[in-house]
Amino acid sequence: MTMLEVRPQADPTMPRRARVSRSVFRAVITLHALSVFAQPVLAGRFLNGDVPILELHRTNATMAGVLGFVQLAVALTHRLIGAGPWWPVLACLVLSLAEPAQIFLGFNRFVGLHVPLGAAIVAATLLLLVSAWRPGFTMPRNGKGGGDDR
């Protein structure tokens, strides 16, 4: 395949509910990622002397946490209808546990743990986002295991 060729998105015979659940998952992971990616920017502004931005950092953390749980529910739904692999459910579960821990660490000023956990959350969210937007983010055609249907 050359760089100019366009690969098909997925099997055109994929059931409508699978396409819809995949689209919903992609929308939720995108919103969640935007919220998560904003956190280091807001923290950096706070560290640069913009003290009032800390309130927005706190509010956005809550929003990211809520979106993380919504993302888990959507990933589980996508899997249960038979359209998605298990690993995104597990990744979303880990993120759903890590984000409240991250909020707790931030509120209690455990910066030595808050910063590295935040970096890990950003990295995991990025990997999940990229994977969700890859062509064929569905079960393989043979229905065994999880992964792309290429």
- pLDDT tens readout for residues 46-97: 999 999 999 999 999 999 999 999 999 999 999 998 788 899 999 999 999 9
In which band, very low, low, confident or very high, does the pLDDT at 10 lie, cut at 50, 70 and 90?
low
The neighbour count for residue 119, using CB atoms within 10 Å, is 11
Q: Is the pLDDT of residue 34 over 80?
A: yes
Q: What is the mean pLDDT of residues 105-125?
A: 98
Q: Is the pLDDT of residue 145 over 60?
A: no
Considering the chain, what is the average pLDDT of its residues? 88
Location of structure tokens 């950096």: 44
What's the pLDDT at 150? 37
Q: Is the pLDDT of residue 148 over 90?
A: no
Do the Cβ atoms of 36 and 122 come closer than 8 Å? Answer: yes
Model pTM above 0.95:
no
Q: What is the mean pLDDT of residues 104-133?
A: 97
Instruction: Give me the DSSP letters along 47-91.
Output: HTT-TTHHHHHHHHHHHHHHHHHHHHHHHHHHHHTT-S-SHHHHH
What's the pLDDT at 100? 98
Inter-axis angle of helices 87-107 and 53-80, nearest 10: 160
Q: How far apart are CA 22 and CA 18, in angstroms?
A: 6
Do the Cβ atoms of 17 and 83 come closer than 8 Å? Answer: yes
What's the pLDDT at 82? 76
Domain boundaries of the chain, sorted by first residue: 16-132
Q: What is the mean pLDDT of residues 100-110?
A: 97
Neighbouring residues of 99: CB distance < 8 A, sequence distance ≥ 6: 61, 64, 65, 68, 121
